[in-house]
Structures are given as structure tokens and as C-alpha cells.
Structure 1
Amino acid sequence: MAYWLMKTEPDAFSLQDLQRRGQEPWDGIRNYQARNFLRSMQTGDEVFIYHSRVPAPGIVGTAEVVCAAYPDPTQFDPQSKYYDPASHPDRPRWDLVEVAYRRTFAQGIALDTLRTIPEFSDSPLIRKGNRLSILPITSSQWQYILQYAG
């Protein structure tokens, strides 16, 4: 099992949206490194959901990968904002995984707090300029956040 962090902007799709739907394809990823992380995810991997572009960005809850990577159909749809004319069904460039809601934390764990936690000192999450929407999380980071969240 592996651990991940997936960033989302709550005005586009929030943890509460995932909770209402139960399960959802995590589509629209258009960064090669983030795509490669998606491709390495397996069913059963656990995920922190991180809300970005909010006054206090941070980890707000958890989800689980319930379907491993497969081609993201939005890349082939000219009506989709995620359409990629360079992608072809025989050679898809972009993948998605499906995630299921697991838990909402009573209180989010803000990025400012994460910066003070020694387990995150080497995490790309706290580095200035990091814009990746998907990041690996270590087992010790996962356990620490679960304990911190109560």
C-alpha cells in the first residue's frame, strides 16, 4: 500500500463533493509527473485530500484509490476543458484513478501547520513553488497526520 496527497480546489471539486458522490474519477490531470504518480497508484492506496486556493490551504480528509489508473476519457472529448488534441485513443497521454470518500477531519490541517511538522521537512508539499496536484506521502507522514487529526 502507498500513501498520496491529492490537491483540489474546493470551488471546482471539494471533499464534500466526493462525500456526496461516494466515488469519483480523479480526472483532468495534465502534468506528466502527476500523471506518472497516478499510473503508480494501486487499488487500496490511501489518499489525503488537500484543499488549495482557499484562505487556509491544507489537508481536510481522506479517500481511497478504488480503481487503478486507466485512460482519462476527457482527453478525447473536444467539448471537455481537459481535451488534448495531441492524445489519441491508441496512444492516450493522460490517465485517471477512481477514489472513494473515507473521512473528513473535524478540523483541517493547514499548510502553515504542516510546515512546522518535522516529518514534512523534506516534503515537496511545503517547498515554495510546488504546483504538483498529486504527491507521494510517506508512511510516517500518513500516521502523524492521522494522529494529529484525532
Structure 2
Amino acid sequence: MAKWLVKTEPSECSIDDFAQKPDASIPWDGVRNYQARNFLRQMAEGDQVFIYHASCKHIGIAGIVRVTKSAYPDPAQFDAESPYHDPKSTHEQPRWQAVDMQFVKKLPKLISLDRLKNMDGLEDLPLVRKGNRLSVMPVSEDEWQRILG
């Protein structure tokens, strides 16, 4: 199984939103970056995912979810009322993907970006590299273990 990290603004979808519905799957939609979309396409059922809170007071990894449904066309791209609507996307050739994820656990303490930047062995993790703004990224098994350690 692969490991991933997804960034979210807690006001949109936080680890607490997943924790409030521990038996429900929540769609991870609205990704509008091609490289991040391509990573979504690689996600498979059972993959584990770090939830990273961004653009907020307390930035960092807040918890873990797992993929319950692999990539499918993001319904928001077809909804003219959605902020994620894409008029160039068609049902025959959708441009954007979504995955469903479910709560695994909330971390006892947020792992801050500063702490991640100072951990040995994370130099290649896109999150800690300057200028990386991807909302979805792979995490190697070694990086995953270092972060949880």
C-alpha cells in the first residue's frame, strides 16, 4: 500500500471532520492542479494518508485517514454552482478526479512544518522543499515511519 499526504484548510475539511464521522467515507474533491490530480489517480483503496492542515494558525500533520474508494471523476467539476466547476470538463472526458477517504486516527499532537523540516531523512519530501505548493503528494515508507517515530 502506498502512503500519501494531502493538504487542507481546516475550515474546508479537517481531521476533526473525519473524526466526527469515523464510519463514513468523505470525498476528497476540488483538486485543480494537474500534478496533484495525477497523484490522486494513483491512490488505491487501503492507502494511508496524512492530513496536513495548512493556511491556518496551527500548520502541520494532524492525523491519518485511509482511501476507501480510488479515483473517480470529481462531481464538482460538472456542477455549475460549485466553486470547483470546470466548464471545459465533460462526462466523456473528465479532467479532475476525487477519492473517498475515512478516518483512521487523530495524532495526539500536531506535527508542525518546522518540526518536519528539521527531521532527518525528509529532505526529499516535497512538503519541506521550498516553493512546493502541491495539495497531494506521495510519502515514502521510510518518510512515513520517520514522521510517526
TM class by smaller structure:
over 0.9
Match of 1:96 in 2: 98
Matched letter for residue 30 of structure 2: G
Asked whether 1:53 is paired with 2:55, we answer yes
SS at match of 2:121: helix
Q: Deviations over 1:12-43 (max 9, x none)?
A: 11110111133200000000000000000100
After the TM superposition, list the runs of 4 or more consecutive aligned residues in structure 1 that deviate by more than 4 angstroms. none
> Percent identity between the aligned chains?
49
Asked whether 1:139 is paired with 2:141, we answer yes
Aligned residue-pair number = 147
SS at match of 1:132: coil
TM-score, with structure 2 as normaliser: 0.95
Deviation at residue 55 of structure 1 after TM alignment: 2.6
- Show structure 2 runs of 5+ residues with no match: none
Matched letter for residue 91 of structure 1: Q
- Show structure 1 runs of 5+ residues with no match: none
Distance 2:69 2:113 in 1: 28
Distance 1:129 1:93 in 2: 25
Where do residues 104-143 of structure 1 align in structure 2 (5 Å cutoff)?
104-143=106-145
Distance 1:121 1:96 in 2: 28
C-alpha RMSD of matched pairs (Å): 0.9
Match of 2:64 among 50, 62, 65: 62
Match of 2:2 in 1: 2
